[in-house]
Amino acid sequence: MIEMKSVYKTYKRKDVTTEALKGIDLKVEEGDIFGVIGYSGAGKSTLVRLVNYLERPTDGEVIVDGQVLNHLSDSQLRAMKKQIGMIFQHFNLLESKTIFDNVAIPLVLAKKPKEEIKQRVMELLDFVGLREKAKSYPRELSGGQKQRVGIARALASNPKILLCDEATSALDPQTTQSILQLLKRVNQEYNITIMIITHEMSVIQEVCNRVAVMEAGEIIEEGSVLDVFGHPKHPTTKNFVKTVIHNSIPESVKRSLKKTGDSKVFRVEVKGEVASEPIVHQVMKAHDIEVNILFANMTEIQETTLVIMYLQIAGEASAIEKAVQFLKDKGAGVEEVVE
């Protein structure tokens, strides 16, 4: 649905050149909720603006719904933009217009007949749960309600893609939750591909199925949310994952850990169905070992359970080896932790 091929974006101001994006390759499939996470200045806002060509790449190709944007004329680009809705951190609603008129704007621009506009706008306001606010003005609404209006407005022209630029960053955690649930519904009920820019890992965890981590204008890690959360590779990714999942042995446990010659510590990661099986019990029963759970954490991502445990396994070397193999056969990811 969205594809970028070695995209560069450089800003030149007088003698200062800033490289905002340095060779981005990216693919977002139809139906994805694709998250892009990074600290401020990582280039994620520039990245999302390339998709609807609010920013033009200095080099490289941006392909949306099969069309190479670089080759389109201004009027073709405007037609393309109607296929892409966008919501913003600060909502960007027109203060001078009612909620109804705000949602109606894309339809007015497309010169739709009045009756059709009225029907569509009320349908959208119903969808976001703000029908009774049709005649209010944005200043009378809360932040969460304003973002709902933003979503309704973005959906008015029946887009295939919805871009969310820090759409929940100005909202409190509870309101963020309700907006994220709404985005999930947009994805499922309207089958709209969503691209979310955020600096909050919890947002990715809540709604995304794929994630790209950005740093200094590059994508440093990309994959399914389950994989990236389970196995973050880059230090920055690890830091982001740490904000939502505790996946390391607490210091106090580490200190009290008795290092004995015949015990080893393993990081065991279990996903999905396997997570509901009593594997710790099974491995102890089948092998002549002792298992000490140093740390365990269970997280739900994409309606799949992700369990991360640190197990201290004591016993004869061969027994430990067999136990590890048993866990691996069960589908767990096992790594020895060398302190």
Contacting positions for other proteins (CB under 8 A): 52, 54, 77-82, 84-86, 88, 90, 92, 94-97, 105-106, 108-109, 137, 139, 157, 163
State which residue, 97 or 131, has the beta carbon closest to other proteins.
97
Closest to other proteins by CB, 95 vs 189, is 95
The nearest distance, CB 81 to other proteins, in angstroms, is 3
What's the per-residue H, E or C state across the chain? CEEEEEEEEEEEECCEEEEEEEEEEEEECCCCEEEEECCCCCCHHHHHHHHCCCCCCCEEEEEECCEEHHHCCHHHHHHHHCCEEEECCCCCCCCCCCHHHHHHHHHHHCCCCHHHHHHHHHHHHHHCCCHHHCCCCHHHCCHHHHHHHHHHHHHCCCCCEEEEECCCCCCCHHHHHHHHHHHHHHHHHCCCEEEEEECCHHHHHHHCCEEEEEECCEEEEEEEHHHHHHCCCCHHHHHHHHCCCCCCCCHHHHHHCCCCCCEEEEEEEEEHHHHHCCHHHHHHHHCCEEEEEEEEEEEEECCEEEEEEEEEEEECHHHHHHHHHHHHHCCCEEEECCC
**Smallest distance from other proteins to CB 289, Å:** 59
Mention every residue, 6+ apart, whose C-beta is less than 8 A from residue 121: 100, 103, 104, 107, 134, 152, 156
Q: From the CB of 112, what's the least distance to other proteins, in Å?
A: 13
Nearer to other proteins, 92 or 178 (CB): 92
Nearest CB to other proteins, comparing residues 80 and 253: 80
Nearest approach in angstroms of CB 148 to other proteins is 15
Of 79 and 293, the one with the shorter C-beta distance to other proteins is 79
Nearer to other proteins, 82 or 322 (CB): 82
CB of 63 to other proteins, least distance (A): 18
Complex with other proteins: residue 78 or 328, whichever CB lies closer: 78
CB 248 within 8 A of CB 265: no
Min separation Cβ 123 and other proteins, Å: 18
- Residue 131: CB minimum distance to other proteins, A: 20
- Report how far Cα 274 is from the mean position of its chain's Cα atoms: 25
In the complex, the smallest distance separating the C-beta of residue 270 from other proteins, rounded to whole angstroms, is 43
CB 210, CB 227: distance < 8 Å:
no
Of 137 and 326, the one with the shorter C-beta distance to other proteins is 137
